[in-house]
Amino acid sequence: MKNIYVGVNDKSIDLFEGMYRVPNGISYNSYIIRDEKSAVFDTVDEKFGGEWLDNVSAALDGRNPDYLIILHMEPDHSANIFRFMEKYPDTCIVGNSKTFVLIKEFFGDFAFNRLEVKDGDTLSLGSRSLTFVFAPMVHWPEVMTVYDGEDKALYSADAFGKFGSLDTEEEWEEQARRYYYGIVGKFGNAVQGLFKKLSAYDIQKIYPLHGPALTENVGYYMNKYDLWSRYAFESDGVFIAYNSVYGHTRKAVELLAKLLKENGTEVIARDLARDDWAQCVADAFKYRNTVIAATTYNGDVFPAVREFIDRLKERNFRNRRVGIIENGGWAPFAAKAIQKRLEDCKDIEYCPTQVTLHAALDGQSSSALKALADELKG
């Protein structure tokens, strides 16, 4: 039979991993495959242990589980291992060598049946066989995926996840992109390594640990992940990331956005001090062009802009064109500070026109904005 969903929705959470805003919550996904033997995939966040165990019991319908397969040891997926084993002590935990190191670190020493698998190993449940495909650093070192050849399904751990509970009606792409660049984005090379392994399998369904099961048009989702993990842009448009203390820099951003739209260029602008930082990071990776418009502050650049650039660097920002608007009154320094912070990023092309405001827009800076808009045309 096909798998049975036994996961939970978390609608009470405000910050995922202590930093990502999730107004629509998040899901912690767990599945059971029932064959001649039964296998449970992962647990859920600690506070939902009771609900999850009830779901597991109902799905097993009086049977005892043979295996608990741990794809990922992050606590939102592993927190209830000990509680599960108290209820089902004869179950065998399936993991790799790094999995069992982390189990000891989280739970200390306790006796349990274990099966240590290696990359490419298989496990028979009866009529179907599971193949373990390791995915180190997507995004923890112990991560592995499982391919079910009978169902042509990939159990993908955190890969292909998205923010939002399962009862949230929204398109996959926006929150999946935000999730990817926030959590997995630094590890693009590791994702590409996983893709090389997965090319050997006919994948028609994907079951991630967060977000909906992907059971139709799987090629679309695979293509998105391939593009994101290669740090390729999705649009020739422009993302304007700005801060504005008294409104003058914002007026320059509004003028640039107007000029770009008149040129037929897709453009979106966000205030780095007010808008969600993870969305800003995702937008910077989505578009070919990022314009950073910033005020000079304490001989450097405005703090929200510093944090934005640091977050881009942490996620290997590269292969992009960058425009700069600085505002500095008597001593503009933001442009130099921005370029200094970006100097370790690979393959960054700077627009020839750098716009400098001495407090407010004037004829010279307005003309420079027009030149910048022309350079940013798709």
pLDDT in tens, the chain (378 residues): 579 999 999 999 999 999 999 999 999 999 999 999 999 999 999 999 999 999 999 999 999 999 999 999 999 999 999 999 999 999 999 999 999 999 999 999 988 999 999 999 999 999 999 999 999 999 999 999 999 999 999 999 999 999 999 999 999 999 999 999 999 999 999 999 999 999 999 999 999 999 999 999 999 999 999 999 999 999 999 999 999 999 999 999 999 999 999 999 999 999 999 999 999 999 999 999 999 999 999 989 999 999 999 999 999 999 999 999 999 888 888 999 999 999 999 999 999 999 999 999 999 999 999 999 999 986
Ordered by start, the domain boundaries in the chain are: 4-229, 235-375
Tell me the fold of 235-375: Rossmann fold (3.40.50)
What pTM did the predictor assign? 0.94
Across-strand partners of 289? 238, 321
> Helices 188-198 and 218-229 sit at what angle, rounded to 10 degrees?
140
Q: Is the backbone peptide bond immediately before 139 cis, with ω within 30 degrees of 0?
A: yes
What's the CATH number for 4-229? 3.60.15.10
What residue type is assigned to position 262 of the chain? E
The residue assigned the tokens 């608990």 is: 68
Task: Find, among 294, 373, 370, the residue nearest to 327 by Cα.
Answer: 294
